[in-house]
Amino acid sequence: MSGTVVIVGAGVMGTAVAHRLLERGFAVTLLEKSLPGAESSAAAAGILGAQSEVSGTGPFLELCLASRAMFGDYVRELEEISGVGVDFEQSGVLEVALTPAEGRLAAGRAQWMLQRGLEVEVLDRDAARRLEPGLTERMVGANFYPRDCQLDPRRLGSALTAVVSHLGGRFRTGLQVQGIEIHQGRAVGVRTATEVIFADVVIIAGGAWSMGLSQLPPIRTPIKPMSGQIVQVETRPATLRHVLYGYQGYVVPRRDGRVLMGSTLEERGFDKAVTLDGIHRITGMAREMAPSLGAARLSDTWAGLRPAPGDGLPILGESRHLHGLFFVTGHYRNGILLTPISGVVIADLVEKKTPSVTLDPFLP
């Protein structure tokens, strides 16, 4: 099967879908209001936390686990084609409990994961600090998820952009899409201020900006922007080895000594400002888990807009109301984790194939 596809949004979701469609013979054009991978994708921390991020069993957990399992081969493929390393590392994630109440929450989470057959190590304080000596002495315990991973989202975005270009995809940047072009009950393209861009298939991959198009049909749940601030510090030499995931935030150490700390959850429209209050909350949280970070050198701050769906589940699939219109959006805090599987399942649906995972809860 082949045809023309226009994708609105060139972050990791748009480029991941473009990658798979180009492989299958489609002609793909990506429309981006800024630069490829420059918005929410670039602002992410890059935790591939299929276990640390998910609150219970069900289809969303299975989607996350399936995507995490793809990453080893996925990264090798992208790096080989693009020549861009994405700093993928199966460093594991430590879910840190600082109080007895958090310890009980961690124990409950470990229980359902073990019942599901997932790998988790339940550690007391001494065992956790042997694994990660930089942890605070006042912690009460931790869950260790050895199969959770991390990577650099900005490098992932660069790799995907290079792969799409290599395969013949076309990028049009600085272009604000205004609405969907409809003919006889089918999406046939998109409208900008100056032109209509026609295509056999339209895919919305606009993240937090996905709802701002005219003629957009109803979807399962609205998407709103949720701001998240991140603080980056530098430690030379590196003092932490594992991602630390607390109940108030996270700490992500990179191999080069950078450490990302985040993140706030703020509903304030499309405002991406970094605030003193946000920095104070984030750095206080990080020092509670790893006191040595208090001596680290501040090197950067930023904020991104997560696409937060009202029901907490991503939106994946073809519109029930408008044929030819597909959505790959609403991934909220798990966009980087869900990149490989989202690209494959949307390409499958465009080709009228049955995806390998259940999508019913995620359909538009």
Q: Give the architecture-level CATH label for domain 93-147+224-308.
A: 2-Layer Sandwich (3.30)
Which pTM does this prediction carry? 0.96
Tokens of 35: 């630069």
Collapse the DSSP code of 39 into the 3-class scheme (helix H, G, I; strand E, B; otherwise coil) and give the result: coil
**Which CATH number does 4-84+153-222+310-362 carry?**
3.50.50.60
What residues does CATH 3.50.50.60 cover in the chain? 4-84+153-222+310-362
What are the structure tokens assigned to 274, written together?
Answer: 């970094």
Terminal-residue alpha carbon distance, the chain:
23
Largest CA distance in the chain: 66
Q: What is the pLDDT of residue 2?
A: 83
Using CB atoms within 10 Å of the CB of residue 238, give its burial: 0 to 12 exposed, 13 to 18 middle, 19+ buried: middle
* Residues carrying CATH 3.30.9.10, the chain: 93-147+224-308
pLDDT of residue 319: 98
Q: Would you state the torsion angle of the CA atoms of residues 101, 133, 263, 94, taken in this order, to the nearest 10 degrees?
A: -60
How far is the C-alpha of 5 from the C-alpha of 252, rounded, in Å?
A: 36
Tokens encoding 98: 């600082």
The conformation of residue 210, written as its DSSP 8-state character, comes to: T
Going residue by residue through the chain, which has 364 residues, state the pLDDT in tens, using 9 for 90 and above. Answer: 789 999 999 999 999 999 999 999 999 999 999 999 999 999 999 999 999 999 999 999 999 999 999 999 999 999 999 999 999 999 999 999 999 999 999 999 999 999 999 999 999 999 999 999 999 999 999 999 999 999 999 999 999 999 999 999 999 999 999 999 999 999 999 999 999 999 999 999 999 999 999 999 999 999 999 999 999 999 988 889 999 999 999 999 999 999 999 999 999 999 999 999 999 999 999 999 999 999 999 999 999 999 999 999 999 999 999 999 999 999 999 999 999 999 999 999 999 999 999 999 999 9
